[in-house]
Structure 1
Amino acid sequence: MSERILNDDGLDLLFREARTHKGWQDREVSDVLLQAIYDLAKWPPTSANCQPMRVVFAKSQDAKEKLRPALMPGNVDKTMAAPVCAIVAHDLEFHEKLPELFSQADARSWFAGKPDAIQENAFRNGSLQGGYFMLAARSLGLDVGPMSGFDKDKVNQAFFPEGKWQVNFLCNLGYGDPAKLPPRDKRLSFEEACEIQ
C-alpha cells in the first residue's frame, strides 16, 4: 500500500492557516452539513471504540437563548452571532453500547458500576472526539470557535437535566469573518514542547 499524505492545501485547511474565529459571516449552516461533520468525526479511534461524544447543535434562536445564561460575558455576542453553537458533551452511559461497538471482549464489564472509570474514560475519549469533530468541520469548509468560558452546571441543567450526558466544551461553527481576526499568536516550538527519549 502506498503512503497517503494530505497535500499542502489540505494541511493548510486543517492546521496551518485555520484560525479560531470569533466573528461570523451571516451564512447558514445546513443540517445536512452538521450531519456530515458527525459522520466524519465518528471514525477516528477511541478506547475500545467507546465513542462517548454526544453533540447538541444549538442552531435555533430558542436554543441559543437557552444557552445564553451559561456563557461568560465575553462569549455571549460571538455565540449569538454564530450560525451554530455545538454543545460537545460525553455520555456517562457510553458503556451500555459497548456490546455492539466492541465485540472483541466484554468491555461493558470494565465500566459497569465503576463511576470513576466511567467519568475518566468518557471525558478523555469525548475530548479526543471533540478534536476530531473540529477537524471534520474544518475539512468540510467551516470555521470553528471552541470555548471553555461558560458555567458547565448551567449548561447541564438546561440541556442535560437527566444527568446522563455532561458538557465538555462549546464550539461555534460557521463561516468566519477574516476581517475580524487578530494577528495570530505564536505556537511553541518542537524543542519547547517535545522530547524524544
Structure 2
Amino acid sequence: MTDTDLNSADLAAYEQAFSSSLVVPNETADLLFRTAQTGYAFSDAPVTDEQMRAVYDLVKWGPTAMNSQPLRIVLVRTPESRARLVEHMAGNNKGRTAAAPLVAVLAADVDFHDEMHRVFPALPNARDKFPDESARATMAHASASLQAGYFIIAVRAAGLVAGPMGGFDADAVSREFFPDGRHRAFLVVNLGHATAESYRPRQPRLDFDEVVATA
C-alpha cells in the first residue's frame, strides 16, 4: 500500500478504529448503540422464529436481581392476535403495530419466584423468601425492565430494528395476552428490517460531564 492509497477520511476512520477505549470493534458499538435507532417503519422481510431464538439466547444471560428471570414475551404473529393488540394501542401506535412484520409483547411475571429453585436449588420453595406480593411485583418489574433493555440490544445484534412503545392500555393488553393475571404487560416492541423510512432525525444526547459525577 502506498501513501496515496489512503485519503484523509480513510486515515481518520482507520485511526478512530484503534483509538477507542472499548474492547469491541467500533462497528459493533455503532450497530448496537451509536447508529442504532428506534424503528417506525419496516420492510416486508419476515422476522423468523430462529432469529427470535437467537435474540433470547442473548437476553437470558443479562444480569438481574438474584438472577431472577421475570421477563415473559408473546410474539404476536396471527392476524387475529394482531387485531386484538392493535385495538389497545394508542394513537399512531395502532398503524405502526398493524404494519410491523412481528410484534412482541413484553410482560413481567409476578410469580417469577416459582422458577427460582432452578437458580438456587437450596430454595425448593422460593415463595417463603418472597411472601410480600407488592414487593415481589416491584422486583419483577425492575428486573423485567432490565431484560427489556437487553432485548432491544439483542434485536440489534441480530441485524433487526426495534420499535419499543409504551403507548397502549397495559391492563387490557395484560388481560388479552396473559389471562392468568400473573403477568403484567409493560412494553410493546415492533420488530423488522430497516428501510429508508425507518428512522426519524437523530435527537441529541446528554454528554458525559452532564450526567456523570465523581464522589
Q: TM-score over 0.5 for the alignment?
A: yes
Q: TM-score, normalised by structure 1?
A: 0.93
- For 1:135, the aligned partner's letter is I
- For 1:125, the aligned partner's letter is S
1:183: Cα distance to partner? Answer: 1.1
* Candidates 174, 180, 189, aligned match of 2:207: 189
**How far apart are the structure 1 equivalents of 2:125 and 2:24?**
34
Q: Helix, strand or coil for the counterpart of 2:184?
A: strand
**Counterpart in 2 of 1:22?**
40
Q: Aligned runs of 1:92-171 on 2, under 5 Å?
A: 92-103=110-121, 108=126, 109-111=128-130, 113-171=131-189
Unpaired runs of at least 5, structure 1: none
User: Structure 1 104/150 Cα, relative in aligned 2: closer, same or farther at 3 Å?
Assistant: same
Q: Helix, strand or coil for the counterpart of 2:73?
A: strand
- For 1:145, the aligned partner's letter is G
Find the structure with the greater CA-based Rg: 2
**Counterpart in 2 of 1:179?**
197
Q: CA RMSD in A?
A: 1.8
**How far apart are the structure 2 equivalents of 1:168 and 1:110?**
25
1:56: Cα distance to partner? Answer: 0.3
Unpaired runs of at least 5, structure 2: 1-20
**How far apart are the structure 2 equivalents of 1:125 and 1:187?**
25
**How far apart are the structure 2 equivalents of 1:180 and 1:90?**
28
1:37: Cα distance to partner? Answer: 0.9
1:176: Cα distance to partner? Answer: 2.1
1:129: Cα distance to partner? Answer: 0.5
Q: TM-score, normalised by structure 2?
A: 0.85
- For 1:110, the aligned partner's letter is K
* Candidates 80, 90, 94, aligned match of 1:72: 90
**How far apart are the structure 1 equivalents of 2:129 and 2:22?**
36
Cα deviations by residue, 1:49-104 (Å, 9 ceiling, x for unpaired): 11100000112222211101110021011111111111011111100111112246
- For 1:72, the aligned partner's letter is A
Identity of aligned residues (%): 36
Q: Which runs of 4+ in 1 moved over 6 A?
A: none
